[in-house]
A and B are shown apart, each in its own frame.
Chain A
């Protein structure tokens, strides 16, 4: 059974940093691209970033480019999102999602999703 378990959410200050993790199990982690998708309270889904199976290629939404960094450790089956220069508008539930493909500059189908971790940016 595929499992994706996010952690690391919480309260962050404007201009501050947080690091999210997503522990994966039940599939060959290194074989698939992984994305982060967020959902602000009461709002829809917004794609944030994607990383290839090897970790060698990364892409970002314009809203987070230059502030967020996606990475992965295939030896630990874990995906990360380093969030710097936090803004109020980054407040959201952050989901990690397994892509249907190994790589790509855009997500294809997001096949499996974690339960999400809440990030609140506030002073």
Chain B
């Protein structure tokens, strides 16, 4: 059973700053890693699939990278609407989430 560990749990940043979110798998996984954004009271939204492909309509400031056991979601310059919780997912497993909050 794959376990995904996200870090940090909370990231406190200001608009315009760069956000780097990590997702580490307990064993080597395929590159079928997805990232989702969830805002309070809303359902999750797909951002990145297959580790590095942006979903339809996702701004270019969101990028994904990684392979093996280590995957990263980067937001190059935070917009006010980007403050949310982010989850990684691989097969049946979700990470516990990283909250990106306004500093």
A residues near B, CB below 8 A?
37, 44-47, 61, 95, 100, 106-116
Question: A44-B95, A106-B91, A107-B92 in contact; A113/B44 too (CB < 8 A)?
Answer: yes
Categorize the interface residue count of chain B. Answer: 20 to 34
A110 touches B89 (CB 8 A): yes
List of A residues within 8 angstroms of B42 by Cβ: 115
A interface footprint on B76-102 (CB within 8 Å = 1, 0 otherwise): 000000000001010111111100000
Q: Is B50 part of the contact surface with A, judged by Cβ < 8 Å?
A: yes
A44 touches B32 (CB 8 A): no
C-alpha spacing A107/B87, complex, angstroms: 15
List of B residues within 8 angstroms of A110 by Cβ: 34, 36, 44, 46, 89
A113 touches B87 (CB 8 A): no
A45 touches B43 (CB 8 A): no
Please pick, from B38, B89, B92, the residue contacting A61 in the complex, using a CB distance under 8 A: B92
28 example contacts (A-B, Cβ-Cβ < 8 A) are as follows A37-B44, A44-B96, A45-B36, A45-B89, A45-B94, A45-B97, A46-B94, A47-B93, A95-B43, A106-B92, A107-B89, A107-B91, A109-B46, A109-B50, A109-B89, A110-B36, A110-B44, A110-B46, A110-B89, A111-B46, A111-B55, A112-B46, A113-B45, A113-B46, A114-B43, A115-B42, A115-B43, A116-B43
